[in-house]
């Protein structure tokens, strides 16, 4: 078996975003494009040589082809062993679990998360380090710099590996082991939650439950955990077969892209508890009869009730949230007298805090929640945590739990407005208008609330001292309200402008108002300062969550 060095050009734009490198499938299919990026990873991660690499993805189009290429490149770059999920499948949280349990030196996760799939859809790849989490900025920056100078990649000639057959085989001196993608993950979650109590809850004839896998990676995981291990009816897990194009759907678990589930639970009240996960299994949407739980509230409720789950019975050390996430978790942290951290968007920023033991739970407003059991956000973990919570609080519903939480801690009205596929120049113009106005905003009012601060968020990591600047524009009215504007780093077409609105209400008598109505003064102020709708010609956001 021979190793070849293949000449390749360097490609523009191979800069990893908040969740790795994401581009259209057709971009990744360019000769040498995937190979150049993977070689840059190997060049910047010499610790992988002689060690174990974990490899897998969400099953989207091009996943299998990419895995075969990466296996041949790994053999040429001195990797000793590769653990790859059967069928090329590994959810993002499961990949983190496998890296950690098998003491791998890193992993390559092939996913574009919640982005559409198929031949005309998106593809992505990111490098996770030995703690199971996304590579920190210092590493991703080094990888990007290497992509700008790379001129060749190394690869061996070898027959394709049968990804559907569990077991080990060789590519040269490198061992490739195809593993069950669910085993390690299911074992890990089984030690965190009260499966007996959840099993009893799911067996109740008056408890109506549904999980939507959205034809994405969590189908096999949900069937193993919810159906086989916890006894939920097989019919309660829908869209459970992973498809390369996600069945033509958009695997983003929110009311817009899971309308049938939302209607059944929230509008029609046919379900007592419903949930969905995304393309790679790291996001979650939690629904109850008559209520959709915001991710911010979900993190806060789980933090407040963490000791009800066996894996967290001793309490939690701290909690962290991304800056655009509402400050609902902060109120819980103050009551529990634990640390609460505000980080930039991107799960990699939680890694140091988790490794240092400063936090136990963390989450982002983009439907991501998790804990120190892995170093990624984890959709099914959140679903099981909510089921454990409902089982431990008999007679209560998702709505009643939220209402009790708001009564104690106050309600943080919250919404995110997404303007998708905006011309990059127009997006920059709108945000620059707000940026230019920031110095003059303190002292002005929004709907009677005084602006106390306005800035471009910067973060200094309390563990290693690293700094991240330019993480989002903030307009703050003390503890009462916030407006945040930033560009998303997960899209592949144009720019996605995200506006976040938050208003705190302590009075229980005023906590049942319509969310968008309560936030309207902030929404109007955002348009006045950015001119976003006028600049783009958009009458309304593409997605409101």
Spatial distance between the Cα atoms of 297 and 289, rounded to a whole number of angstroms? 16
CA distances to 66, 147, 519, 524 from 30, in Å: 12, 15, 45, 44
Q: How far is CA 369 from CA 277, 313, 398, in A?
A: 11, 18, 17
**How far is 210 from 206, CA to CA, in rounded Å?**
13
Calpha distance 76→172 (Å, rounded): 9
What is the distance between the alpha carbons of residues 271 and 293, in angstroms, rounded to a whole number? 14
Angle between helices 92-101 and 379-392 (to 10 degrees): 90
SS (H, E, C) 316-346: CCEEEEECCCCCHHHHHHHHHCCEEEEECCC
* Closest residue by Cα to residue 342 from 361, 354, 360, 325: 325
Active-site hit among 113, 277, 370, 371: 113
Do the Cβ atoms of 347 and 95 come closer than 8 Å? no
What are the E-state strand segments in 129-173?
A: 152-156, 167-171
Instruction: Return the structure tokens found at 271.
Output: 């379900």
Beta strand 209-212 pairing with 273-277: parallel
160: CB partners within 8 A, 6+ apart: 68
| 21-41: b (≥16 Cβ within 10 Å) or e | bbbbbebbbeebbbbbbbbbb
Angle between helix 33-44 and helix 63-76 axes, rounded to 10 deg: 40
How far is Cα 207 from Cα 218, in angstroms, rounded to an integer? 22
Which contiguous run of DSSP H or E holds residue 35? helix 33-44
Write a three-state SS string for 223-257: HHHHHHHCCCCHHHEECCCCCCCHHHCCCCCCCCC
Contact between 229 and 198 under an 8 Å Cβ cutoff? The reply is: no
> How far apart (Å, rounded) are the C-alpha atoms in residues 277 and 269?
20
CB 110 within 8 Å of CB 102: no
Among 98, 116, 120, 117, smallest CA distance to 107 is for: 98
**216 phi-psi bin (left φ>0, alpha ψ -120 to 50, beta other):** beta
C-alpha 131/C-alpha 79 separation (Å) is: 18
State both tokens at 462: 């309390």
Residue 296 annotated among the catalytic residues of the structure = no
Report in angstroms the alpha-carbon separations of 242 from 130, 233, 249, 497, 502. Answer: 28, 19, 12, 30, 36
CA distances from 90 to 81, 111, 118, 220 (A): 17, 10, 18, 10
486 within 8 A of 472, measured Cβ to Cβ? yes
What does the DSSP 8-state code read for residue 461? -
- List, in sequence order, every residue forming a beta bridge with 467; answer none if it has no partner: 460
DSSP per-residue letters across 110-124: E--TTS--STTSEEE
d(CA 15, CA 171): 30
pLDDT tens, position by position, for the chain (545 residues)? 688 999 999 999 999 987 899 999 999 999 999 999 999 999 999 999 999 999 999 999 999 999 999 999 999 999 999 999 999 999 999 999 999 999 999 999 999 988 999 999 999 999 999 999 999 888 999 999 999 999 999 999 999 999 999 999 999 999 999 999 999 999 999 999 999 999 999 999 999 999 999 999 999 999 999 999 999 999 999 999 999 999 999 999 989 899 999 999 999 999 999 999 999 999 999 999 999 999 999 999 999 999 999 999 999 999 999 999 999 999 999 999 999 999 999 888 999 999 999 999 999 998 999 999 999 999 999 999 999 999 999 999 999 999 999 999 999 999 999 999 899 999 999 999 999 999 999 999 999 999 999 999 999 999 999 999 999 999 999 999 999 999 986 555 678 999 999 999 999 999 988 999 999 999 999 999 999 999 999 999 988 98
Q: Nearest 5°: phi and psi at 398? A: -60, -45
* 110 and 124 Cβ atoms separated by less than 8 Å: yes
Sign of CA dihedral 479, 482, 487, 492: positive
Distance CA 280, CA 59 (A): 8
DSSP state of 459: E
Element at 126 (helix H, strand E): strand 122-128
Round to whole Å and give the CA distance between 320 and 327. 10
Tell me the angle at which helices 295-304 and 328-336 cross, rounded to the nearest 10 degrees.
Answer: 10
Domains annotated on the chain, with CATH:
3-181 (3.40.120.10), 185-409 (3.40.120.10), 411-544 (3.30.310.50)
* Residue pair 318/330 in contact by the 8 Å Cβ criterion: no
């Amino acid at each position: 078996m021979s190793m070849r060095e293949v000449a390749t050009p360097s490609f523009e734009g191979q800069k990893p975003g908040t969740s790795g490198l994401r581009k259209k499938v057709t971009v990744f299919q360019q000769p040498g494009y995937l190979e150049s990026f993977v070689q840059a990873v190997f060049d910047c991660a010499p610790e992988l040589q002689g060690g174990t690499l974990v490899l897998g993805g969400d099953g989207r189009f091009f996943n299998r082809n990419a895995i075969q290429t990466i296996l041949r490149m790994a053999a040429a770059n001195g990797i000793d062993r590769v653990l790859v999920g059967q069928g090329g499948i590994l959810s993002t949280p499961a990949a983190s679990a496998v890296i950690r349990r098998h003491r791998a030196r890193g992993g390559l996760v092939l996913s574009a998360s919640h982005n559409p799939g198929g031949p005309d859809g998106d593809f992505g790849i990111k490098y996770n380090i030995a703690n199971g989490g996304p590579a920190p900025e210092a590493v991703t920056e080094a990888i990007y710099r290497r992509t700008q100078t790379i001129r060749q990649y190394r690869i061996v000639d070898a027959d394709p590996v049968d990804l559907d057959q569990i077991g080990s085989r060789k590519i040269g001196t490198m061992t490739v082991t195809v593993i069950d993608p669910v085993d390690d993950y299911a074992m890990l979650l089984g030690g965190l939650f009260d499966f007996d109590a959840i099993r009893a809850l799911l067996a109740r004839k008056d408890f109506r439950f549904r999980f939507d896998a959205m034809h994405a990676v969590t189908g096999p995981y949900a069937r193993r955990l919810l159906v086989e291990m916890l006894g939920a009816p097989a019919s309660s897990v829908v869209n459970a077969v992973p498809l390369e194009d996600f069945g033509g759907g958009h695997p983003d678990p929110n009311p817009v892209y899971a309308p049938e589930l939302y209607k059944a639970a929230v509008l029609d009240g046919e379900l007592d508890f419903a949930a969905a996960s995304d393309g790679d299994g790291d996001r979650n949407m939690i629904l109850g009869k008559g209520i959709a739980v915001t991710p911010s509230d979900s993190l806060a409720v789980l933090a407040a009730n963490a000791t009800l789950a066996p894996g967290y019975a001793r309490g939690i050390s701290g909690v962290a949230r991304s800056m655009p996430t509402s400050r609902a978790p902060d109120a819980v942290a103050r009551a529990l007298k634990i640390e609460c951290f505000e980080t930039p968007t991107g799960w990699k920023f939680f890694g140091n805090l988790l490794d240092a033991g400063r936090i136990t739970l963390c989450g982002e407003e983009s439907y991501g929640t998790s804990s120190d059991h892995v170093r990624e956000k984890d959709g099914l973990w959140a679903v099981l945590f909510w089921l454990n919570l409902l089982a431990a609080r008999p007679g209560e519903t998702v709505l009643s739990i939220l209402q009790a939480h708001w009564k104690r801690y106050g309600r943080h009205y919250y919404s995110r407005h997404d303007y998708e596929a905006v011309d990059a120049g127009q997006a920059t113009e709108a945000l620059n208008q707000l940026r230019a106005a920031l110095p003059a905003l303190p002292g002005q009012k929004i709907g009677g609330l005084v602006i106390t601060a306005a800035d471009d968020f910067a973060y200094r990591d309390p563990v290693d001292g690293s700094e991240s600047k330019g993480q989002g524009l903030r307009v703050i009215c003390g503890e009462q309200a916030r407006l945040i504007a930033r560009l998303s780093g997960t899209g592949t077409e144009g720019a996605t402008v995200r506006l976040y609105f938050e208003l705190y209400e302590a009075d229980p008598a005023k906590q049942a108002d319509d969310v968008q109505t309560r936030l309207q003064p902030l929404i109007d102020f955002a348009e006045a300062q950015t001119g976003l709708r006028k600049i783009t010609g958009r009458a309304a956001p593409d997605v409101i969550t």
